[in-house]
Chain A
Amino acid sequence: MPYLQISNVSKSFGTFQALKDVSLEIEEGKFVCFLGPSGCGKTTLLRAIAGLDIQTSGRILQGGRDISALPSSQRDFGIVFQSYALFPNLSIADNIGYGLKNSGKSRKEVAARVAELTELVGLKGQERKYPSQLSGGQQQRVALARAIAMAPGLLLLDEPLSALDARVRLHLRSELKSLQRRIGVTTIMVTHDQAEALAIADQLVVMNQGVIEQVGTPQEVYRNPKTAFVADFVGHMNFLRAEVVGEGNVQVGGLILAAETGGLPAGEIVSLCFRPEDIQVRGIAAGNKNTIEVRIEEMEFLGTFYRADLALNGPTSPRVMADFSMNAARDLALEPGKIIPIAMPADRLRLFGEKRG
């Protein structure tokens, strides 16, 4: 039985529907990311789970207990906000022990637990400082330690890393993940950063305009996006307007490409999608399927690879992005203006009904 069961949850603010009939199940001990653009409803769903803004309709069960209508104070969760909401007038130790002191534990027990937690988040020796004396990353750890101090059944993280600079963010991201593994608490993190979500989550929940678009492991979501929105939002993706011209074939501009058409009738207008890194430039034999000649229009150096802008046929044709490794670029002497053959493996091409604008 799943630890957290969300069924048919809707939330309206006046006439605006922030969540539309959302259902989701989360297994115990999993690290789940709610991912989506701003305004997609991910924070609204988190706040409904926390009881901070209770949903208009629908049920939420945590560990078998119906918490749908309970106030926050009667639910079982710890939370870290984007702002951290640390108490500025209390020392780090007092911040972390804030809930413990109130729970009827003895002074000694509280002190021992606080010491254990400061050790756990790597802030030993900083206990007597105040939040304003710590760096952003350290403040984030204090907020985390405070949130897990009462050993809650559920840890909620609302964009906890977005206030930090890029380097600290990468570092804390992996620490957060390993900490969660160690204590095994079921965790939900809200984020709009797809790279972060892919790196950290056991399970991704991609949301858009108040509905869940797809649920799955990061690999599943990345490899097999179920909707055009997910394909576009997670990772980079090329979109080309195409027409189905029979079983297993689509036409783009003047080109016929092999692709899995999945029963779409001929004449159907679709979006043809593929990722920049799925374009092959090496080992292409003349007779391979989906091999075409393209012209490199521009190449952008991105450190570990090049992102190239390719014209499929002629300067007015649609452009596509392709990622070339440094090795390939060097070996094949790739440069703007050059005409090269590329292959687009049929199993990496995906078709979506033409709905996105």
Chain B
Amino acid sequence: MADTFAFDLAPPQAKEPAKIRPIVSREEWGMRAGLGLLALYLAVTIAIPLFMLLRKSVEDADGSFIGLANFHRYFADPALSLSFQNSFFISILGTAITLWLAFWYAYAITRSCMPARGLFKALALIPLLAPSLLPGLALVYLFGNQGIFKSVLMGQSIYGPIGIITGEVFFAFPHAVMIITTALAMADQRLYEAADALRAGPVRTFFTVTLPGCRYGVMSAGFVIFTLIFTDFGVPKVIGGSYDVLATDIYQQVIGQFNFQMGAVIGLLLLAPTVLSFAADRITTRRQQSMVSARAVPLEPKPRRAVDRACFAFCLVIAVFLLGVMGMAAFGSVVKFWPYNLSLTLMHYDFGKLGTDGWNPFWNSLKLSAFTAVFGTAIVFAGAYLVEKIRGFGIARSAVHLLAMLPLATPGLVLGLSYIFFFNSPDNPLNFLYATLTILVICTITHFYTVCHLTAVTALKQLDAEFEAVSASLKVPVWRTFLRVTVPVCLPAILDIAIYYFVNAMTTVSAVIFIYTGSTKLMAINALNTDDAGNSAAACAMGMTIVVTCALVRGLHALAGRTFLARHQAWRRRSA
């Protein structure tokens, strides 16, 4: 006992050596400050607005707390709660159909030897260029009261679930094809050779190798398009008729009746399933990554006559449908008076005659897209860089990463509504932003932040992790290596982010519809209003203007990719 006692009296530093406190360089402090700013920015543009929405849903019109009374009222109203059911019905059926079509389409592109695979792949992406209301308009032309193929519906009306689901399938199809194509492209030739050697037939191989290999990709696609359809506003607005869904309800409550509390309630009802589906998606994608090892041998499909022909026929039908819908919208925009006078004219493109707005919405859209592309890309890439490269500081990095994920789970309508609550509040020092183009830019950057952030993170993770260590040993400041190495090497990803922002800013309706004003009206919104006013030909013309603009910018992007990268980034080629 005496020994122990003496031991306890020994000076503590003998046991516990002094900890080293690393000196943080000025650069590192700068980066940490940047990360702090980013966290603040994301808090202001997504976290706090969503919190305001949450608060609004438990308040009455005077702003006093009333618990869940609004929710009670919502579900007590049969007309309102019916939309809730309708939304689920549309989304589940739409998801099932899209998944089924997209899977075989993606299978044909990646696993068959049919001709024109590249062309079919490009055609599948056509719907991305258009605002979602455009397929709605085209479907009205095709199957509406005066549609050419009205008889196909055998007395059913296109205005309602049939029209909504068809439009949503068109709208969601490219997203599903992209995700499933990626999943199917990651296949290991050796597994197929093993299946062959074990005498498994083609059907057995499909169910034991192909399907398990891409199941997480298919599930992920399912979650993504469920969210897209569940929260889409353009299609049901144009073709829904009296069939109400949550997305059109929220618009009516807020814009039609100024019932912000009920709007907030519906917003949360929209948010809940998307958050769940998002969480499920994150879990499944994490699994997918660990499936294919780095040593996999890429699969080279072999010709199979019957399968290749079937694939080609299937893709042809789908492509005709996609082109038909788009072509109908284009045709609708250039005929004089559908269906009575089919002579061609450009008069519907003379937006100046339509009203006071003229071409202003188009210029607004162009400005919004350009600003969103430039500032969005800068914020996203710099932010992803900080999250990836700062050493230590784990809590702040995880917080920013989490905030960056939030927008993907937030439907555009919910984001827009929460912006009203937050930025329009007279107590908010940022109130001056309200009713400006700036807030539309901020909103759009936030709306599409997650996909861009993940693209940037993926590109940065492919860089050698020791670039910064090497620079430090050579006494070169971090920002210099960022500009001279990181940015040039990641340029393809940066361009991808910019184009993604541009096209989405051009076509989006949902988030911005709550916060535009007369002077910041956008082209897609104008198309929606014009259709509402009964002039669907002009609405088609506006939609097609967007499509053409997006197609031009994409073409420019592809061209820039070819010529610029070839001239200034010779290092990408393996041999000189």
Tell me the nearest residue of chain A to B472, going by C-beta. A72
Cβ-neighbour of A8 out of B17, B466, B469, B473 (below 8 A): B17
Q: How far is the CA of A102 from the CA of B475 in the complex (A)?
A: 8
Binds A, one of B115-123, B296-304, B402-410, B566-574: B566-574
Tell me the nearest residue of chain B to A68, going by C-beta. B20
A81 at the interface (CB under 8 A from B): yes
Closest 5 CB pairs of A and B: A99-B474, A130-B571, A72-B472, A85-B466, A71-B25
A79 at the interface (CB under 8 A from B): yes
Contact B469 A81 (CB under 8 A): yes
Query: Which residues 521-576 of B have a CB within 8 angstroms of A?
Result: 569-572, 574-576
Q: How far is the CA of A89 from the CA of B485 in the complex (A)?
A: 7
Cβ-neighbour of B574 out of A70, A133, A146 (below 8 A): A133
Sample (18) of A-B pairs whose CB atoms are under 8 Å apart:
A50-B473, A57-B17, A57-B18, A58-B20, A68-B20, A71-B25, A73-B477, A77-B473, A81-B466, A83-B466, A85-B470, A86-B464, A129-B576, A131-B571, A132-B574, A146-B474, A149-B474, A152-B473
Q: How far is the CA of A8 from the CA of B16 in the complex (A)?
A: 12
A69 at the interface (CB under 8 A from B): yes
**Contact residues in A for B569 (Cβ distance below 8 Å):** 89
Tell me the nearest residue of chain B to A102, going by C-beta. B476
Q: How far is the CA of A146 from the CA of B17 in the complex (A)?
A: 37
Contact B24 A71 (CB under 8 A): yes
As a 0/1 sequence over residues 472 to 493 of chain B, the CB contacts with chain A under 8 angstroms (1 = contact) are 1111110010001100110000
**Contact residues in B for A51 (Cβ distance below 8 Å):** 22, 472
Query: Which residues 85-130 of A have a CB within 8 angstroms of B?
Result: 85-91, 98-99, 102-103, 129-130
Cβ-neighbour of A78 out of B23, B24, B473, B571 (below 8 A): B473
Q: How far is the CA of A99 from the CA of B21 in the complex (A)?
A: 28
Query: Which residues 31-87 of A have a CB within 8 angstroms of B?
Result: 50-52, 54-58, 68-75, 77-79, 81, 83-87
Contact B467 A85 (CB under 8 A): yes
Tell me the nearest residue of chain B to A154, going by C-beta. B473
Cβ-neighbour of B19 out of A56, A73, A90, A98 (below 8 A): A56
A10 at the interface (CB under 8 A from B): yes
Contact A130 B570 (CB under 8 A): yes
Contact B485 A130 (CB under 8 A): no
Q: For the A-B complex with A8-B17, A77-B473, A102-B477 known, give 14 more contacts whose Cβ atoms are closer than 8 Å.
A: A56-B20, A68-B20, A72-B472, A73-B25, A73-B475, A79-B473, A99-B474, A102-B476, A102-B480, A130-B571, A132-B571, A133-B575, A146-B474, A152-B473
Contact B473 A72 (CB under 8 A): yes
Q: A71-B28, A130-B576 are in contact. Are A146 and B470 (CB under 8 A)?
A: yes
Interface size band for A: 35 or more
B27 at the interface (CB under 8 A from A): yes
Q: How far is the CA of A10 from the CA of B17 in the complex (A)?
A: 9
Contact B473 A103 (CB under 8 A): no
**Contact residues in B for A75 (Cβ distance below 8 Å):** 473
Interface centre among A8, A71, A81 (most CB of B within 10 A): A71
Contact A55 B469 (CB under 8 A): no
**Contact residues in A for B480 (Cβ distance below 8 Å):** 102
Q: How far is the CA of A81 from the CA of B19 in the complex (A)?
A: 28
Interface centre among B17, B19, B569 (most CB of A within 10 A): B17
**Contact residues in A for B488 (Cβ distance below 8 Å):** 89
Cβ-neighbour of A69 out of B22, B472, B473, B474 (below 8 A): B22
* B contacts, CB < 8 Å to A: 17-25, 27-28, 464-467, 469-477, 480, 484-485, 488-489, 569-572, 574-576
Contact A69 B21 (CB under 8 A): yes
| B470 CB to nearest A CB, Å | 5
**Contact residues in B for A147 (Cβ distance below 8 Å):** 473
Contact B489 A89 (CB under 8 A): yes
| B443 CB to nearest A CB, Å | 35
**Contact residues in B for A78 (Cβ distance below 8 Å):** 473-474
Contact B576 A99 (CB under 8 A): no
Interface centre among A52, A69, A72, A147 (most CB of B within 10 A): A72
**Contact residues in A for B17 (Cβ distance below 8 Å):** 8, 10, 21, 57-58
| A59 CB to nearest B CB, Å | 8
Q: How far is the CA of A8 from the CA of B19 in the complex (A)?
A: 11
Q: A73-B27, A89-B571, A133-B574 are in contact. Are A99 and B19 (CB under 8 A)?
A: no
Contact A133 B467 (CB under 8 A): no
A150 at the interface (CB under 8 A from B): yes
**Contact residues in A for B24 (Cβ distance below 8 Å):** 71
Q: How far is the CA of A147 from the CA of B471 in the complex (A)?
A: 10
Q: A146-B474, A147-B473 are in contact. Are A83 and B489 (CB under 8 A)?
A: no
Q: How far is the CA of A42 from the CA of B109 in the complex (A)?
A: 49
Contact B571 A81 (CB under 8 A): no
| B410 CB to nearest A CB, Å | 34
| B185 CB to nearest A CB, Å | 23
**Contact residues in B for A90 (Cβ distance below 8 Å):** 484-485, 571
Q: How far is the CA of A75 from the CA of B20 in the complex (A)?
A: 16
